[in-house]
Amino acid sequence: MKIHTIPENDIRHSDRRHPVDFLALPSPDEKLQRICEVLSRTFGWVADAATVEQKGLRASVVLYCVRADLLGAATLDELGATVGTPQAVIEELVSDFCHGIGW
């Protein structure tokens, strides 16, 4: 059974368009600005730690979230065990980092 569309019901003739149709693609400058914002938030989040050890742990959390392959086979448990930090604290750091950069 073939359905015949009439112009009033055809999406191609509609006055309404999907919101995505109105999104402009970011320019190269806007992309670069966004990358700089994310890097700035990331470094700021790492630097917010009080001690060098905590900064190292935060940097490891960033690696775990962004490029886990760079840590080898290390898991969140192993990251915490290395510095004597409970897994719950590590998981909270992961959540805080993701929230902090708007991920």
Render pLDDT for 1-49 as a digit per residue (tens, 0 to 9).
555 656 555 555 555 555 556 667 778 888 899 889 889 999 999 999 9
User: Which stretch of 24-28, 61-65, 93-97 has the lowest confidence by average pLDDT?
Assistant: 24-28
In a domain, 17, yes or no: no
Predicted pLDDT of residue 77? 77
In a domain, 53, yes or no: yes
In a domain, 4, yes or no: no
Q: Please choose, from the candidates 103, 84, 96, 82, the residue with its C-alpha nearest in 3D space to the C-alpha of residue 49.
A: 96
Amino acid at 42: T
Three-state secondary-structure class, residue 16 = coil
In a domain, 32, yes or no: yes
pTM of the model: 0.68
In a domain, 45, yes or no: yes
The number of folded domains in the chain is 1
Q: Please choose, from the candidates 22, 60, 45, 19, the residue with its C-alpha nearest in 3D space to the C-alpha of residue 103.
A: 45
Q: Which domain holds residue 53?
A: 27-100
In a domain, 40, yes or no: yes
Rounded to a whole number of angstroms, the distance between the first and last alpha carbons of the chain is 47
CB burial of 82-97 (b: ≥16 within 10 Å; e: otherwise) equals eeebeeeebeebbeeb
In a domain, 6, yes or no: no
In a domain, 7, yes or no: no
pLDDT tens per residue, range 45-59: 999 999 998 999 999
Q: How confident is the model at residue 99 (pLDDT cuts 50, 70, 90)?
A: confident
Structure token digits, residue 54: 């905590």
